[in-house]
Amino acid sequence: MELGRTNGVPYIKRTKDGRINIKSGNKIDLVIKWTIIILSILTVMAFFFFNYTGLQLERAIPETAHNLRAMFLEPALNHFSLGEAVYQVGITVGLGVLATVIGAVIALFLALMAAENLSKPWISKSVRAVVAIIRAVPTVLWVLIFAIAAGLGSEAAVLGMLFHSIAYLVKAFSEAFEEVDAGILEALRATGANWWHVVTHGVLPSTFTYLLSWVFLRFEINFGVAVAMGAAAGAGGIGFELFMASGFYFDLREVGFITYAILIIAVLLEIISTRLKSRYFPASTNN
């Protein structure tokens, strides 16, 4: 006799001699458990294969503490002014905004074709396959590809971020469209509404708050990528100044100042996005 299910709850089995054997968990839990154990063992073993030649902990620890103190407790600008820093931050934010806005507009139309409840199966599968391939390539790699093809500059950074933003948002938007109540779509079609009317009067009003949240999330990602690509793709901005301060001047105090500036901008973007959603779309903040 067997009682229960192997879905994470206790599994009860009566043996041939009449005894009851109670087991908890299932095969998935067992796989996860052994995966964690094996990865932990490999992590510990990796420390025994490191090359510790020349490592002097008695010197490394105080020097690291000194560098961290100079970076985060004594920030300063030595190679450019505060006005130039604000200008460079504006360039980085502008790159993120440009890639996000253009990507969101293109992704909206592609997502309508990718949604299974709004498009034909072969169109939906084709769009999903293409964006899956694009999304599988990291944003940084797309930026570097366009930096080689189109040359170093802000164009390569925007194109690279745009490609991955479109693929990312198409997946997010299409899944939001597919969550729309089928009864709403059927009711609109029953009244004689065409495809475009169904989209504008049924799909978009029901999912707009979710689309807005995904766009804000992608913008935060693009801002971070724009910082990283400031030097790698020659896009400029505060990322380029961070590269110069860390790799060329080796000015830890300036690195600390730029790090704080990036952190402040990231916090401000989060506050602005939260305020906008709570003011104009209060339903999205209550979910």
Most confident of 37-46, 200-209, 221-230, 231-240: 37-46
User: How far is 185 from 146, CA to CA, in rounded Å?
Assistant: 41
Q: What is the per-residue pLDDT across 9-33, written as a single tens digit (0 to 9) for each?
A: 455 555 556 565 555 556 777 888 8
Judge whether residue 4 has pLDDT over 70.
no
What is residue 103's predicted lDDT score, i.e. its pLDDT?
A: 93
DSSP for 153-202 reads SHHHHHHHHHHHHHHHHHHHHHHHHHTS-HHHHHHHHHTT--HHHHIIII
Q: Which CATH class is domain 72-286?
A: mainly alpha
Judge whether residue 263 has pLDDT over 60.
yes
Q: What is the per-residue pLDDT across 28-42, written as a single tens digit (0 to 9) for each?
A: 778 888 999 999 999
What is residue 3's predicted lDDT score, i.e. its pLDDT?
A: 46
Q: What is the per-residue pLDDT across 110-129, written as a single tens digit (0 to 9) for each?
A: 999 998 888 888 999 999 99
Domain coordinates in residue numbering, the chain:
2-49, 72-286
Among 205, 183, 185, smallest CA distance to 193 is for 185
Give me the sign of the Cα torsion angle 175, 176, 181, 182: negative
In sequence order, the β-bridge partners of residue 2 are 13
Give the model's confidence band at 6: pLDDT under 50 very low, under 70 low, under 90 confident, else very high.
Answer: very low
Give the model's confidence band at 104: pLDDT under 50 very low, under 70 low, under 90 confident, else very high.
Answer: very high
